[in-house]
Structure 1
Amino acid sequence: MDDLPPMLILEILSRLSDSADLARCRVVSKALNTVSAEVRSINLYCSFDRYTKSRSPETKSLVTPFKKIFVDLVSRSRLTESVSLGVEKPLRGLSYDDVEDESDDLHLTGVDFVGEWLPSVAGQMRSISISDFWIQSCWRRSKILSLISSCCHSLLELELKNAWLSVDGLIGMPMLTSLTLEYIRLDDEDLNKVNDCFPSLQVLNLIGVGGLMEPKIHLLQLRTCHWMVSNAPLSLTILAPNLIKLKLECWKPKSLVIDAPLLFEFQLSLEKASNLEVKEFRDLKTLQLESRYLFSLLGSFPSSKTVKNLTIDSSKWTESAKVAKFNLATLFDAFPNAKSLAVGPGAWLEAETCFHAGDSEVNIEITAHLFVKEITAHLFVKDIEISVSFIFFVLEKCTNLTDMSLLIHREVESSIASNLMSRCIARCARVRWRWGFWKEGMKDAWVSDGI
């Protein structure tokens, strides 16, 4: 190993996904120890096995403290630009019912710990990712944001997970372009300060950030945003004039305001919104909607003639025909120029049920739809005759349809699935058919690429 060129050794060490291996390499040879100081990224995660051994009386004395390993790695690396630190997934799922733990050996967003290693590498730091141990961090409010903002003036990306954060002392970070806060406890005032202190954000991910009642995102440079709201706030507001991609998941806010005129791709999942205010999206091309009350959502969503790729679904799978309201007429009225349509199992079942009930709006008002070229549908097939009749109705109304993809629930008997397939193929030879199966929690499985 000592005979290898230093640049080759550095390339090998830089490709190690676990920096624990980097620590081991340092004791193997003098060459490895010397070159390892040039590695620019440190990635270290505490495994469930390490955690268990550190708690066992038989093995506790044999386990090097996790924080010590990390601090040693940073102190020996002169050019560290990226840090990824945390606990592995099995540890994130532990709760107080599983373990009683008041120690802080894995409290990774603690200012005392971060203050040991961050100042020495802050000048060249470009990316920081810390995934804390929730059992130890949820009741300890951390001022790590203040520490990072005071010394990491060139930081571009910041990711913090599973912690209770304070914005006390937070100062502006005009260089930061990407921020991810996942399962973080904040208050409305804290989010307002995030808006003020990170004016150059282009990517923002707020995943399960709790404690917010009337949160507002107001970022002029924002381009991509994923916001998953963990509680039921009174209102949600997004003001982002340059936003082009938005994924929003929320329960049922009393008010939802979205002002993002350049939005190109939008995923919206919500229970219902009493007051939905969505300004016109003049560039929206791809839209995904999911709601338990899909019919009412479409009614309040502004008609969008720019949408070409449309995905819809309803989480209301088991409702009776008496309450089913969603139908294709409403859909095509709202999005008249959609070329590609994907319909989830809940939405297809509701539209099928509405059609079978003889809804006059479905059978009379809908005219031939000339723009849809491709349809993908997830089917339950509760009654094959109803399913077949509805599919034939869709074929009749979508006169320019060229591709039809049908995914049948895996619990449907194979003879019924085969019967449905053969009848559809015989009915419409002009369409290229694709077949497959689906089931909750599983990836769709295709068995035919086209007939």
Structure 2
Amino acid sequence: MDDLPPPLLLDILSRLNDSTDLARCRLVSKTLNALSYEVRSINLFCSFGRYMKSRSPETKTLITPFKTIFNNLILSSRSVDSISVGVRKPLRGLSYDAVEDESDDLYLTDVNFVKEWLPGVVCEGLKSLSISDFWVQSCWRRSEVLVLISSCCHSLLNLEVKNSWLSVDGLSPMPALTSLTLEFIRLDDEDLNKVNECFPSLKVLNLIGVGGLKDPRIHQLQLKTCQWMVSNAPLSLTIHAPNLVKLKLKLKCVKPQSLVLETPLLSDFHLSLENAGECGVKEFLNLKTLHLESTGLWSLIGTFPFGRTVKNLTVDSLKQSEPVEIKRFNLETLSNFFPNVSSLKLGPGAWSELETCFRLGGLEGKIGMKKLKEITGHLMVYDIDITISFISSVLDKYTSLSNMALLIHCEVDSSITSNLISRCSANWPRVKWRWGRWKEGMKDTWVCDSI
């Protein structure tokens, strides 16, 4: 390997996903050792196996502390511009009650730990920084790491902090920052005013499970993309972002009294909430792609009386925590509110509701969605004859349909799946069929096409 040109070796070292391998390469040869200090990206993550070995009486004395390995990598590097440090996914899933770990060897947002390598060492040229903490050790310790980062990383463009309790007292402006992700973060502030004030140039903002906010308000004039997942119970949510184009808003087990979206340029909107209630949104004249999820789809769809601009529509009915009487939505409802849709995707709950409505009364009402070209559906297939009849009525009603992509649940018997595929292909040869499998919590798998 020493015979390879140094630029090529450096490129290979730069592509290593785990910098533990970079540390090992330093022991292989003098050439690799010398070039390793020129790598511009450091990515180091503590595995579940390493964590368990560090706790075992038989092996803990043999394990080099994680922070020591990281410090050695960082402090010996000459031109780092990207840093990712954290714990692997299995560790992120551990709860404090289950582990009761009061040590600080994986408390990675510890400001004293970060002070050892960030100020004066890598901060000047640093463009991207990601810290994914170990919640078991960080949840009961309030960290000022965000304040430290804002005081010395003036060229930072991308910042991620996950699984931590953060303080924003004394936060300094970071006008260069364009992307911010806060994931499973505890804040003591009642709102996001300090974040809005200190990060005025954000184009991408991700707030995933940020707790402790009572009346959160996002006020970002440059923002283009936003993902906001709320799991606590704020009284109201407000987004003022005149240049926002894409928004994913998930309100998990949350029923805010007020939801205000001041986003006139929004074109791609993903909204998931338990119940629409008194939810109201202003008109989006540029909305092209819309994804709706709710336990009460009928009432949620009713909040979008301006759906004529929507071309790509996805709907799904979420499972209810408690059985209640609801008004089921149907294809006529979708046609009335979204007449110009060309692509319609139906989640498993939505497909089930539509099949139920069809079984009770067929497809009634006027023909809408005259531009509909494609339907993607997630099926359970409880009764194959009902499913076939429903598909037949849909194809008869929407004559412009030319593509049907159907995903069948993995638990459906293979003989039923084969029967459905063969009957659909034979009965409607004009349609281009695509078939796949789906399962809760897993990525959809496409199996075959038939024309």
Residue type at the aligned position of 2:306: S
Rate the CA distance shift 1:149–1:423 in 2: closer, same or farther, 3 A: same
Name the CA distance, whole Å, in 2 between partners of 1:16 and 1:92.
23
Alignment partner, residue 339 of structure 1: 342
Residue type at the aligned position of 1:325: R
> Are positions 1:272 and 2:275 aligned together?
yes
Shift of 1:100: 2.6
Alignment deviations for residues 48-67 of structure 1 (CA, whole Å, 9 cap, x no partner): 22212222222222221111
Of 10-19 and 428-437, more deviation after overlay is shown by 428-437
Alignment partner, residue 108 of structure 1: 108
> Are positions 1:224 and 2:212 aligned together?
no
Shift of 1:188: 4.5
Alignment partner, residue 370 of structure 2: 370
Name the CA distance, whole Å, in 1 between partners of 2:340 and 2:308.
6
Rate the CA distance shift 1:164–1:406 in 2: closer, same or farther, 3 A: same
Of 429-438 and 117-126, more deviation after overlay is shown by 429-438
Name the CA distance, whole Å, in 1 between partners of 2:209 and 2:258.
19
Shift of 1:349: 1.2
Rate the CA distance shift 1:322–1:243 in 2: closer, same or farther, 3 A: closer
Alignment partner, residue 206 of structure 2: 205
Rate the CA distance shift 1:447–1:157 in 2: closer, same or farther, 3 A: closer
Rate the CA distance shift 1:422–1:21 in 2: closer, same or farther, 3 A: closer
> Are positions 1:402 and 2:402 aligned together?
yes
Contact 1:201 / 1:221 at 8 angstroms: preserved in 2?
A: yes
Alignment partner, residue 284 of structure 1: 287
- Give secondary structure in 2 for the equivalent of 1:411: coil
Shift of 1:419: 4.3
Q: How does 1:252-267 map to 2 (within 5 A)?
A: 252-267=255-270
Name the CA distance, whole Å, in 2 between partners of 1:395 and 1:3.
64
Q: How does 1:10-25 map to 2 (within 5 A)?
A: 10-25=10-25
Residue type at the aligned position of 1:181: L
Alignment partner, residue 328 of structure 1: 331
Rate the CA distance shift 1:230–1:49 in 2: closer, same or farther, 3 A: same
Contact 2:167 / 2:188 at 8 angstroms: preserved in 1?
A: no
Q: Gaps spanning 5+ residues in structure 1: where?
A: none
> Are positions 1:448 and 2:448 aligned together?
yes
- Give secondary structure in 1 for the equivalent of 2:95: coil
Name the CA distance, whole Å, in 1 between partners of 2:13 and 2:409.
47
Contact 1:167 / 1:190 at 8 angstroms: preserved in 2?
A: no
Rate the CA distance shift 1:316–1:93 in 2: closer, same or farther, 3 A: closer
Alignment deviations for residues 226-262 of structure 1 (CA, whole Å, 9 cap, x no partner): 1111212221111111111111111332221112111
Name the CA distance, whole Å, in 1 between partners of 2:446 and 2:113.
50
Q: How does 1:48-447 map to 2 (within 5 A)?
A: 48-119=48-119, 120-189=121-190, 191-251=192-252, 252-316=255-319, 323-358=326-361, 363=364, 365-447=365-447
Rate the CA distance shift 1:427–1:83 in 2: closer, same or farther, 3 A: same
Residue type at the aligned position of 2:111: V
Alignment deviations for residues 268-297 of structure 1 (CA, whole Å, 9 cap, x no partner): 111113222222212211111111110110
Shift of 1:445: 3.7
Contact 1:263 / 1:281 at 8 angstroms: preserved in 2?
A: yes
Rate the CA distance shift 1:321–1:108 in 2: closer, same or farther, 3 A: closer
Residue type at the aligned position of 1:25: C
Rate the CA distance shift 1:144–1:322 in 2: closer, same or farther, 3 A: closer
Contact 1:324 / 1:353 at 8 angstroms: preserved in 2?
A: no
Contact 1:317 / 1:349 at 8 angstroms: preserved in 2?
A: no
Of 49-58 and 136-145, more deviation after overlay is shown by 49-58
RMSD: 2.2
Name the CA distance, whole Å, in 1 between partners of 2:34 and 2:106.
29
- Give secondary structure in 2 for the equivalent of 1:375: strand
Alignment deviations for residues 424-443 of structure 1 (CA, whole Å, 9 cap, x no partner): 44543432233333332344
Rate the CA distance shift 1:367–1:11 in 2: closer, same or farther, 3 A: closer
Name the CA distance, whole Å, in 2 between partners of 1:40 and 1:139.
33
Residue type at the aligned position of 2:205: L
- Give secondary structure in 1 for the equivalent of 2:357: helix
What TM-score, normalized by structure 2, do the two folds share? 0.93
Residue type at the aligned position of 2:214: M
Of 47-56 and 212-221, more deviation after overlay is shown by 47-56
Rate the CA distance shift 1:368–1:214 in 2: closer, same or farther, 3 A: closer
- Give secondary structure in 2 for the equivalent of 1:336: coil
Q: Gaps spanning 5+ residues in structure 2: where?
A: none
What TM-score, normalized by structure 1, do the two folds share? 0.93
Contact 1:245 / 1:263 at 8 angstroms: preserved in 2?
A: yes
Contact 2:179 / 2:202 at 8 angstroms: preserved in 1?
A: yes
Rate the CA distance shift 1:348–1:127 in 2: closer, same or farther, 3 A: same
Residue type at the aligned position of 1:43: N
Contact 1:227 / 1:249 at 8 angstroms: preserved in 2?
A: yes
